[in-house]
C-alpha cells in the first residue's frame, strides 16, 4: 500500500486525509493535538512543522507528501520536502515564487505540483486544458467562499487560516492587460456580479493568477474574489487605517505588528462554526478562437458543505482537487519533473477528464457550456 504524509490537519488538511485514507496508508502531522484527535484510522504525529527536522520526520517512509500548511510556513516546508526526493502536492499558497525551487526539484527527480486547490488550482487546470485546444484571448476567474447567513459587520467566515485571508486583502494584485502584467492594489476595481440563485455579490482584484503569469501568454487575465456587498469597503477602511500593517509599532513599550493583532481579534469572529452552512462559488470565463471562429467557454461552480461528514465546502473544493492530483502522481500519469502548476496538468491527455470526474464523484460538479460568439 502506498504511503502518504499530509502536513497540516486543519479543515482542508483533514478533508484530504479522509479522502485518501480509504486507499492509502496516511500519516497526518500537525501541532494541534485536537485536530489530530479528530482523524481516525491514520498515523498521527504532533509536531511543530515550522521546524525542518519535524517535516523530515513526518515525511519519513512516505511515497508522496501533501503540504497543507498555512502560507507563512508553506515555502520552507515545500523546500524541505523536495530535498527528500519525494513528490509533493502543495496547497499552502505561499507568497514566494514556487519556480525558485524548480531547479532543485529537477535535480532531485521530484514532481512538485503547486497551487493545487480550487483557485488557484482547478481554475488553472481548466485554463490549461482549453489553452491546449483553442487560441485563448482572455481568462477571467471570479471565486469566493461565503457563509449562507450574513452576520454584521463582516458578512464573512474564514474556511481557512485568517492570516492567509488577510494576505488576499493586502498583497498587490497582478493582472494581465493588453499582453502586459500590471499591478493594482488588492480590493481594487470593485464591481457587482449577479449569480443565479444567490443574487448580487461584489468582486474585487486579488493576486490569484500566480503561476499563470509565467506559464501563459494570454493577452487578458484577471482573478477576482467574491464577497457579499459591503465587505470590501470595510476591509479597505481597516487596511487604510493600518490594521493590516506588517511593520511593528510601539505600544506602551511593547512592539506589536498590527496585522498579527488584527488577525487575533478577527479569528473568533471569522471562525466557521462546526455546523455553520457555507458555500463556494466560482465562475470562469474563457474567450478566444476555436478553428478560427470566436468562442466562449463558461464554467460555474456552486458547492455546499457536506453536513453528513461535517466537511466544509472550501475543504471539499480545495482538498479533493489536491487528492485527485495525488492519485494521478501515484499512478504515474504525471511524468514531468520540477515545479509543476496545475495548468500544465490540464494539458496532459486524460488528466483533465480524470480530475473533473473525480470531483463529480464527490458531488463537486462544475457546470460548463460553450457558446459561439459569431
Mean pLDDT of all residues in 162-171: 83
Q: Would you say residue 359 lies in a domain?
A: yes
The per-residue pLDDT for range 83-127, each reduced to its tens digit, is 999 999 999 999 899 999 999 999 999 999 999 999 999 999 999
Last residue of a domain, one of 304, 325, 350: 304
Is 278 within 8 Å of 146 (Cβ atoms)?
yes
Q: HSE-up of 285 (CA within 13 Å, CB side)? A: 9
Please state, in angstroms and as integers, the Cα–Cα distance from residue 328 to each residue in 79, 89, 112, following that order.
22, 11, 13
Cell of 105: 526539484
Is 141 within 8 Å of 122 (Cβ atoms)?
no
Question: How confident is the model at residue 97, as a pLDDT?
Answer: 96
| Percent residues over pLDDT 70 in the chain | 98
Q: Are 245 and 220 members of one domain?
A: yes
| Percent residues over pLDDT 90 in the chain | 84
Mean pLDDT of all residues in 216-229: 97
Any idea what the CATH number is for the domain that residue 32 is in? 3.40.50.720
Cell of 117: 486547490
Q: Would you say residue 260 lies in a domain?
A: yes
Q: What are residue 300's DSSP bridge partners?
A: 283, 367
Rounded mean pLDDT of the chain? 94
Any idea what the CATH number is for the domain that residue 295 is in? 3.30.360.10
Q: Are 242 and 340 members of one domain?
A: no
Domain that residue 295 falls in: 122-304
pLDDT confidence bin for 308, thresholds 50/70/90: confident
Question: How confident is the model at residue 373, as a pLDDT?
Answer: 62
Count how many domains the chain has.
2
Name the pTM for this structure.
Answer: 0.94
Q: Would you say residue 371 lies in a domain?
A: no
Angle separating helix axes 52-59 and 71-83, nearest 10 degrees: 60
Q: Are 172 and 300 members of one domain?
A: yes
Q: Are 216 and 166 members of one domain?
A: yes
Higher pLDDT residue, 9 or 372?
A: 9
Cell of 298: 463558461
The per-residue pLDDT for range 338-352, each reduced to its tens digit, is 999 999 999 999 999
Q: Are 192 and 111 members of one domain?
A: no
Last residue of a domain, one of 304, 327, 342: 304
Q: Are 160 and 12 members of one domain?
A: no
Q: Which residue is it, cell 505561499?
A: 94
Highest mean pLDDT of the ranges 192-201, 219-228, 288-297: 219-228
Q: Are 139 and 287 members of one domain?
A: yes
Separation between Cα atoms, residue 323 and residue 356, nearest integer Å:
12
Q: Are 287 and 154 members of one domain?
A: yes
Question: How confident is the model at residue 149, as a pLDDT?
Answer: 92
Least confident of 129-143, 160-174, 223-237: 160-174
Question: How confident is the model at residue 306, as a pLDDT?
Answer: 87
Amino acid at each position: 500500500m502506498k504511503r502518504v504524509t499530509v502536513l497540516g490537519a486543519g479543515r482542508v488538511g483533514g478533508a484530504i486525509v479522509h479522502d485518501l485514507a480509504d486507499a492509502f496508508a496516511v500519516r497526518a502531522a500537525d501541532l494541534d493535538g485536537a485536530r489530530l484527535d479528530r482523524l481516525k484510522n491514520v498515523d498521527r504525529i504532533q509536531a511543530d512543522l515550522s521546524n525542518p527536522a519535524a517535516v523530515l520526520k513526518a515525511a519519513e517512509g512516505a511515497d508522496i507528501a501533501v503540504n497543507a500548511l498555512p502560507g507563512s510556513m508553506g515555502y520552507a516546508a515545500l523546500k524541505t520536502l523536495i530535498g527528500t526526493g519525494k513528490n509533493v502536492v502543495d496547497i499552502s499558497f505561499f507568497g514566494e515564487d514556487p519556480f525558485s525551487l524548480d531547479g532543485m526539484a529537477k535535480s532531485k527527480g521530484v514532481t512538485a505540483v503547486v497551487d493545487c486547490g480550487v483557485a488557484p488550482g482547478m481554475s488553472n487546470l481548466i485554463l490549461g486544458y482549453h489553452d491546449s485546444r483553442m487560441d485563448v484571448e482572455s481568462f477571467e476567474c471570479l471565486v469566493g467562499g461565503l457563509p449562507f447567513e450574513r452576520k454584521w459587520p463582516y458578512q464573512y467566515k474564514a474556511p481557512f487560516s485568517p492570516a492567509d485571508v488577510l494576505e488576499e486583502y493586502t498583497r498587490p494584485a497582478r493582472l494581465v492587460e493588453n499582453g502586459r502584467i500590471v499591478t493594482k492594489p488588492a480590493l481594487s476595481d470593485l464591481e457587482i456580479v449577479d449569480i443565479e440563485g444567490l443574487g448580487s455579490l461584489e468582486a474585487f482584484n486579488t493576486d490569484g493568477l500566480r503561476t499563470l503569469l509565467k506559464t501563459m501568454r494570454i493577452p487578458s487575465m484577471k482573478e477576482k474574489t467574491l464577497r457579499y456587498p459591503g465587505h470590501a469597503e470595510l476591509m479597505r477602511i481597516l487596511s487604510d487605517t493600518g490594521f493590516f500593517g506588517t511593520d511593528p509599532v510601539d505600544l506602551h513599550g511593547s512592539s506589536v505588528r498590527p496585522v498579527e493583532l488584527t488577525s487575533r481579534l478577527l479569528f473568533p469572529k471569522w471562525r466557521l462554526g462546526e455546523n455553520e452552512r457555507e458555500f463556494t462559488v466560482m465562475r470562469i470565463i474563457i474567450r478566444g478562437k476555436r478553428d478560427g471562429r470566436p468562442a466562449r467557454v463558461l464554467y460555474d461552480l456552486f458547492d455546499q458543505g457536506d453536513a453528513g461528514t461535517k466537511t466544509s465546502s472550501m475543504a471539499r473544493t480545495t482538498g479533493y482537487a489536491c487528492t485527485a492530483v495525488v492519485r494521478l502522481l501515484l499512478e504515474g500519469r504525471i511524468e514531468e519533473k520540477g515545479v509543476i502548476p496545475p495548468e500544465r496538468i490540464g494539458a496532459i491527455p486524460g488528466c483533465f477528464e480524470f480530475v473533473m470526474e473525480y470531483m463529480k464523484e464527490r458531488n463537486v460538479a462544475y457546470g460548463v457550456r460553450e457558446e459561439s460568439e459569431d
